[in-house]
Structures are given as structure tokens and as C-alpha cells.
């Protein structure tokens, strides 16, 4: 895939939605994605409300111009951390390998990663990836999956031809 991915960023934050703090996690994700040549199609900051988040994820996943949705925030154990539930309610199937890779790599940085409930899945040919809310955590986690995002998006599209990119991590056994 030579063109950039059309993506959306959804931030789940009561304080951000109330204007009490800036969405620096979402800003960091947009900056990282744009620096890689991807194209921001939509962005929203919503309160930690299951219905609102679910509605936004559903709307964007039905928009054929949005190939990837990156969520920030709401992946922890707090009573209002509901982005995993919102994601699970709209996806057709999970991509557990991506969520497992995000947690495994993040555990090398902080033991707090084991508290993440982040989900990755596909809704109507749109990949949805839950990221932490902190700018550092969001970018570190995004960096883990960035190398596979173009291929994942291509597989879900009608343009996939069955060929796979050459692996840079191949070992001889």
C-alpha cells in the first residue's frame, strides 16, 4: 500500500469533553499518524459514556472513507472506562494478536500495561484500535502496531491480492 491510511481519532475523556484539559493524547496520535503519511478524516472528543462512544464508533465504521479508528483513553479499570465495551459492541470480530502484541511490548516499559483492557477489532472493514489516554502511552502503543496497519487495512479492502510484505523480523531456524 503506497497511499496513506484514512483514519479517525476518538478520545474518551470526561474532563477533556468538559474543557477541563486539552486532548494531548489525541494530539500525539494525530501527529504520529500524520508524520507517517496517513490522513486524518475525522476526530472527536466525547465523555466516557458508553452510548455516545458506541454511536460514534458505529457511525465512523459505516463510513467507507474511514479505514482505521484509533481510540485514546478509557481502557483502564475505572468505572467510567468503557471504550473496550463500546468497541466490542460494534466490531464484527476481534484481532487479538494486535491487542496481545500491544500489551506484551508495553509490559517491557511498565508493569501497569497489564491493567489495560484495550481491544482491537474490525467493524465493516474498518479496523478499530484502542490506545491508552496518556500521550506517551498512546504513541508507544501505536508505534507497536504501526508497521502492520497498512497491510491490515489492505487485507480488509477489495484491493488485497494475497501477497504479503517481506518480513523484516525473519529468523532462520
pLDDT score of 157: 83
pLDDT tens for each residue of 118-166: 999 999 999 999 999 999 999 999 999 999 999 999 999 866 555 555 5
Q: Decide if pLDDT at 106 tops 90.
A: yes
Answer yes or no: pTM beyond 0.85.
yes
Buried b (16+ CB within 10 A) or exposed e, 15-32: ebbeeeeebbbbbbbbeb
Report which of 96, 107, 158, 159 is spatially closest to residue 132, judged by C-alpha positions.
107
- In whole angstroms, what is the distance from residue 120 CA to residue 137 CA? 16
User: Are 151 and 164 a contacting pair, CB within 8 Å?
Assistant: yes
Q: Give the pLDDT band of residue 63 (cuts 50, 70, 90).
A: confident
Q: Which domains does the chain have, with CATH numbers?
A: 6-156 (3.40.980.10)
Amino acid at each position: 500500500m503506497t497511499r496513506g491510511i484514512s483514519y479517525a481519532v476518538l478520545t474518551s475523556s470526561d474532563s477533556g469533553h468538559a474543557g477541563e484539559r486539552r486532548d494531548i493524547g489525541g494530539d500525539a496520535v494525530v501527529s504520529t499518524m500524520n508524520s507517517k503519511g496517513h490522513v486524518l478524516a475525522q476526530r472527536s472528543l466525547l465523555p466516557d459514556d458508553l452510548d455516545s462512544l458506541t454511536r460514534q464508533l458505529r457511525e465512523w465504521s459505516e463510513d467507507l472513507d474511514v479505514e482505521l479508528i484509533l481510540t485514546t483513553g478509557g481502557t483502564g479499570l475505572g468505572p467510567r472506562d468503557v471504550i473496550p465495551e463500546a468497541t466490542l459492541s460494534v466490531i464484527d470480530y476481534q484481532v487479538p494478536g494486535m491487542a496481545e502484541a500491544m500489551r506484551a511490548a508495553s509490559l517491557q516499559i511498565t508493569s501497569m500495561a497489564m491493567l489495560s483492557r484495550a481491544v482491537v477489532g474490525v467493524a465493516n472493514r474498518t479496523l478499530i484500535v484502542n490506545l491508552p489516554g496518556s500521550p506517551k502511552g498512546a504513541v508507544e502503543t501505536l508505534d507497536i502496531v504501526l508497521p502492520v496497519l497498512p497491510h491490515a487495512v489492505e487485507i480488509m479492502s477489495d484491493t488485497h491480492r494475497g501477497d504479503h510484505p517481506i518480513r523484516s523480523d525473519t529468523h532462520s531456524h
